[in-house]
Amino acid sequence: MERRDKINYYLDIAEAVLKRGTCLRRLYGAVIVNNDEIISTGYVGAPRGRKNCSDLGFCTRTKLGVPRGQRYELCRSVHAEMNAIISAPREKMLGATLYLVGIEVMDGGYVKNADCCSMCKKNVINAGIERVIIRDSADEYRVVNVCDWVDNDESLEGKLGY
């Protein structure tokens, strides 16, 4: 048996984490790693004490026909990246890597062109995370340097959707 490469190893862990998610549209799992040590994990779910969409049996954004990448203020959930950041001490996130995996609930496939939303990008930048690695398939991924999000400020270019 061939040994799994380190990046896919951490992406596999993020994929396991997403199984705790409660979103009815897309499940995401995030793992923050620094110096080859897992700092924290996060998945999509409502704030503590509030009912999850999976408990309610509906998604407000789906009910309203809101397209992907828009009107996140209507979402009940805290995103996986934010939950991972909330759970980690800042000094351990400086220079870290965030591993991100998204799965479509409807068909179980990987989210095509998955990315952090504009709100999560701001949080990742402020956390001091250096790069984000996003799974595209079971073995393929993209590496995003967070400094590119700073240099190419989408909020100035009107490119907030996916």
Residues with catalytic roles: 81
Select from 116, 87, 89, 86 the least CA-distant residue to 101: 116
From the CB of residue 93, how many other CB atoms can be counted at a distance below 10 Å?
23
Among candidate residues 82, 97, 80, 78, the one with its CA nearest the CA of residue 39: 97
* Closest among 83, 79, 89 to 34, alpha carbons compared: 89
Cα separation, 125 vs 96, in Å, equals 11
Q: Bridge partners of 53? A: none
